[in-house]
Copies of this chain bind each other. A is one copy, B any other.
Amino acid sequence: MTNPKLDAHLTEHFIRREERLSGSYLHVVRDTVTLPDSSTATREFIVHPGAVAVIPLMDDGRVVMVRQYRHPVGQVLLELPAGKRDPNEPVLACAMRELQEETGYTAGQWARLGGFHNAAAYSTETMEIWVARELRAGPSRLDEGEFVEVAEVPLEALLEQLQQGQMPDMKTALALLWLARWRASAWPLDWQTITPLD
């Protein structure tokens, strides 16, 4: 998106980095940058490995969702299966792993929907969103201390919940609206055939 010449009047330049927090989950740094007017400023943000969310689409049009308690927002959210990437883990491998761990499903076909920054002001995170179909059920493999409930829900019911304000997870809301455009034959997807993991 950035054109180095055309965007010189907007672009900041890195000077130095200071470690702020190396936590049990979050890594926070504070960078000093040069602003376009040559003054300096600091930018404090999370260094994040990136994440993947999956829209698991059943043959009958239902979507495999997960319900889980999210302590920072104090409620159970209905979300797409998703998770952080392991170090150096390829995006599709992460998508396949998270789908199987959280729901038990494996998928024969995959298509990439896009990559999105969910908190560009304070996190390096990119959330990749993929669609999976030709699903095959199997046992889930939740980590210890992970409590997730699987629910297969028709897309129309999910969209109705979204419209009514009952689908507050942002990646899920975005992904469902995009899927609806694909289903309306407006936006094509580029499917890859994958041999499911055993």
Contact = CB atoms under 8 A, between A and B. Distances in A.
Interface of A: 1-3, 7, 9-12, 14, 20-21, 23-26, 28, 30-31, 33, 35-37, 39, 41-46, 67-79, 114-127, 145, 147-149, 162-163, 165-166, 168-171, 173-174, 177-178, 180-181, 187
Contacts of A147: 9-10, 35-37
A35 to B, nearest CB: 6
14 contacts: A1-B78, A2-B69, A2-B75, A9-B147, A14-B71, A26-B45, A70-B121, A72-B124, A114-B162, A114-B165, A114-B173, A170-B170, A177-B178, A180-B181
Secondary structure class of chain A's binding surface, majority of residues: mixed
Tally of this chain's copies: 2
A126 B73 contact: yes
A30 B181 CA distance: 40
Contacts of A71: 12, 14, 31, 33, 43, 45
Contact of A30 (B23, B33, B78, B114): B23
Given A117-B77, A117-B168, A44 B25 contact: yes
A148 B11 CA distance: 10
